[in-house]
Amino acid sequence: MASRQLIGMVHALPLPGSPSHHPPTAAIVERAVEDAIRLEESGFDAVLVENYGDAPFFADRVPPVTVASMARVVAAVRDSVDIPVGVNVLRNDAIAALSIAAACDARFIRVNVLSSMMYTDQGPIVGQAARLSRLRAALSPTIEVLADLFVKHATPPPGLRIEDAATDLRDRAMADGIILSGRGTGLPADRDMIRQVRRAVPDTRLLVGSGVDRESVASVLQTADGVIVGTAIKEQGDVRRPVDPAHARALVQAARSV
């Protein structure tokens, strides 16, 4: 994957089995495909499909119906665009994400907690790097693993330094890239923390995973290798709404000025 990469979010509507599920699955697929096409046409380098509408989330393993539904959505998106497609199964089902990616020819996955553990609203979540790395070797070694560092909507264990967590992700958890986000969805990452992580793992791909908009993207990309954008490219800045092509194009234009 290219440096200074722009990854656009495809937030799936509530899937079958989730408490907020209303539309038929065909409508969920249609929305996801439409968002992915808009992102590609706007100049994004990749898209990341996520079961954002399924809150409240399971801490790790999701039900079979979620895996089946996500596979249907990811396969449809994969068939609709020519740019790489990624998978994130919230809250932290990395095994499901990798399995879906392997079955649907996706190129990468995002893992919220790959190494160590985090305190979250789902309770303590423990990384599953050992299982994931072995499954990846068996299924598809070319699928990339992008791992969150001090993931949003969570608190790290007391005493864990962000520099140590970053090097552990790279050296011990075998992450291909590191994602640094703000405290919550749509909130910017701390610039000092971005610089800290850059110094700790200078040769590892670093992406900023929340709070990036067309005003900030150019400056963020002075330090980071890429961004993952969702809220800023949605209609009315609402993460639950469809992608707004004008907002998406404006962000791409600002990013390409770097």
> Is the Cβ–Cβ distance between 237 and 211 less than 8 Å?
no
Residue 238 — φ and ψ, nearest 5°? -105, 115
Note the CATH architecture for domain 5-255. Answer: Alpha-Beta Barrel (3.20)
**In this predicted structure, what is the pLDDT of residue 3?**
54
pLDDT tens sequence across 17-56: 999 998 899 999 999 999 999 999 999 999 999 999 999 9
Q: In what order do the strands lie in the sheet with 123-126?
A: 123-126, 117-120, 154-155
User: What gap in Å lies between CA 167 and CA 233, rounded to an integer?
Assistant: 32
**In this predicted structure, what is the pLDDT of residue 96?**
98
**In this predicted structure, what is the pLDDT of residue 253?**
96
**In this predicted structure, what is the pLDDT of residue 95?**
98
User: What gap in Å lies between CA 35 and CA 31, rounded to an integer?
Assistant: 6
What are the domain boundaries of the chain?
Answer: 5-255
**In this predicted structure, what is the pLDDT of residue 78?**
98
Please name the helix (run of DSSP H) or strand (run of DSSP E) that holds residue 111, with its range, or none. Answer: strand 108-111
Residues of the chain with pLDDT under 70: 1-3
> Is the Cβ–Cβ distance between 7 and 226 less than 8 Å?
yes
Cis peptide leading into residue 56 (ω within 30°): yes
> Is the Cβ–Cβ distance between 154 and 123 less than 8 Å?
no
**In this predicted structure, what is the pLDDT of residue 28?**
97
Query: Nearest 5 degrees, angle CA 192-CA 196-CA 199?
Result: 140
How far CA 72 is from CA of 8, 52, 187, 249, in Å, comes to: 19, 15, 30, 28
Q: What is the largest CA-CA distance in the chain?
A: 47
User: What gap in Å lies between CA 45 and CA 52, rounded to an integer?
Assistant: 21
**In this predicted structure, what is the pLDDT of residue 23?**
80
User: What gap in Å lies between CA 200 and CA 99, rounded to an integer?
Assistant: 31
User: What gap in Å lies between CA 217 and CA 137, rounded to an integer?
Assistant: 35
From the centroid of its chain, how far is CA 125?
17
> Is the Cβ–Cβ distance between 193 and 178 less than 8 Å?
no
